[in-house]
Amino acid sequence: MSIPIIPRASPLPPDVSTAPRLIGTTTAFLFLALLVFSARILSRVRPVPNLGWDDHTMTVAVVFALISWSFVVASIPYGAGRHMYYLSQASNSGGGLMVFAGQTPWLWANTLVKISVAFTFLRIKQTTTWRWFLYEAIAAQIASAIGATVTIFTQCKPLQALWDTTIPGSQCL
């Protein structure tokens, strides 16, 4: 059974950009995350360095989060925050490329944060059952992220069809 497409009865919303809210919100949360991360690392290196796998994993996660955020910022000149009806095809494609480019770093940033938490739990409790459970959780996170990454890169043929809808003969799942 298919759902019928109902024509839009009301006019489109006004051509207003929500980019300032997008940048403001993402930057505020990134700044807060960087403060917490900095406090965490500072507490682990002073007075005696005691960095572990959890800290190294979190550091890589922060790098990926910064990369992803930079793609959000880079999408603003292409019209991110505006209704796509008001944008040119070139702007839609450019913005779509920026969004696509930021997906994988964001996915891996989230995955690595979860893995870092599991490594932190491994520091706290050392029972065999707990260790096996956490190692399995880490493996499941890695497998899930790999699967999602493969899906991101294989959902359209050619890949450019993800951000450029004008490519003739493209197929997306």
108-142 pLDDT, tens digit each: 999 999 999 999 999 998 899 999 999 999 999 99
pLDDT > 70 fraction of the chain, expressed in percent and rounded: 94
Partners of residue 8 on adjacent β-strands: none
pLDDT surpassing 50 at residue 159: yes
Phi, psi angle pair for 155, to nearest 5°: -75, -20
Q: In whole angstroms, give the CA distance from residue 140 to residue 19.
A: 35
Are 68 and 102 spatial neighbours (Cβ–Cβ below 8 Å)?
A: yes
pLDDT band at 4 (very low <50, low <70, confident <90, very high): low
Q: In whole angstroms, give the CA distance from residue 124 to residue 107.
A: 27
SS3 7: coil
pLDDT band at 89 (very low <50, low <70, confident <90, very high): confident
Q: How many residues are there in the chain?
A: 173
Stretch 161-168: mean pLDDT, rounded?
88
**What are the residues whose beta carbons fall under 8 Å from the beta carbon of 170, sequence distance 6 or more?**
156, 157, 158, 160, 161
